[in-house]
Amino acid sequence: MVEVIKNISEWLKIQKEEIKSDKSIGFVPTMGALHQGHKSLIEKCRKENDIVVVSIFVNPTQFNDSNDFKNYPTTYEHDIKMLEECNVDYLIFPNFDSMYPDGYHYKVIEDDFSKKLCGATRPGHFDGVLTVVMKLINIVKPARAYFGEKDFQQYKLIDGMCKAFFMDVEIIPCETVREQSGLAMSSRNKLLSEDEIKIAPIFYKLLKSDLDLNKIKIKLEEASFKVDYLDETDGRRFGAVFLGNVRLIDNVKK
Ligand code: PAF
């Protein structure tokens, strides 16, 4: 049975008194609405650690658009079932006040890569991500933490933060899990209409094609996507698009 912990001090007590110091803790932070992509992170974490901790916290400080925050899917019952199936030991499920006793006056800010790609059109997004991830890592104190490569920029920034602040944790990237159609798994896919679900895989197909970015943009627009950005850097091609109100991101190695 997964033990659900809403109170951070309760977790700190368990961690101090019940988890032996020779047991490794593996950590998968999430915002819930769990899917097969999360499952693969949790399974890898289960294989590589003695104790598996997952967190579910829809972190308001990383949403630059309040409607996006309000509409973020929540599937708590389903999530708990998946955590049970994956043999997770602890779920950390805190509320805003317990995560932000400072009212978000203290922030972690990266001032270079976080301003590019997704950061260019989502001001403050990565400040919120880095801040909450540092808080969660400080709370959970894992040996390893797992992040999906669908959010490659997020993974790189978190890895950089942990190195910059000498945080004693290994950040493990995990390959993007895709639907059979090629569409990268994402909690936001749940917000797509039936028609949009059919169109969405075109994004990945074009991203990994040999076409140049201009041609890809034209083809995406023809297929009714609104392109937020397309870019190539460090041997990867990155993109973010809107289908209706839903923002999808993806990236491929070039
Ligand atoms: O990738 C996510 O789900 C979130 O950005 C994370 C890492 C859990 C921080 O809120």
User: Which residue ranges have their beta carbon within 6 Å of ligand 1?
Assistant: 29-31, 59, 62, 129, 132-133, 151, 154
**What is the residue-averaged pLDDT of the chain?**
97
Q: Degrees (nearest 5) of the Cα angle 236, 176, 82?
A: 160
pLDDT category of residue 134 using cuts at 50, 70 and 90:
very high
Tell me the CA–centroid distance for residue 123 and ligand 1, in Å.
Answer: 16
pLDDT of residue 203: 98
Q: Judge residue 125's burial from the number of C-beta atoms within 10 Å of its C-beta, 0-12 exposed, 13-18 middle, 19 or more buried.
A: buried
pLDDT category of residue 116 using cuts at 50, 70 and 90:
very high
**Percent share of the chain, pLDDT over 70:** 100
Q: Please report the atom of ligand 1 found closest to the CA of residue 158.
A: 7
pLDDT category of residue 77 using cuts at 50, 70 and 90:
very high
Residue of the CA atom closest to atom 5 of ligand 1: 129
**Percent share of the chain, pLDDT over 90:** 98
Residues of the chain with CATH 3.30.1300.10: 187-248
Q: What fold is seen in the domain 187-248?
A: Pantoate--beta-alanine Ligase; Chain: A,domain 2 (3.30.1300)
Whether domain 3-174 has CATH 3.40.50.620: the reply is yes
Q: Which of 62, 120, 51, 128 is nearest to 92 (CA)?
A: 51
DSSP annotation of 185 reads P
Whether 125 is a known active-site residue: answer: no
Residues of the chain with CATH 3.40.50.620: 3-174
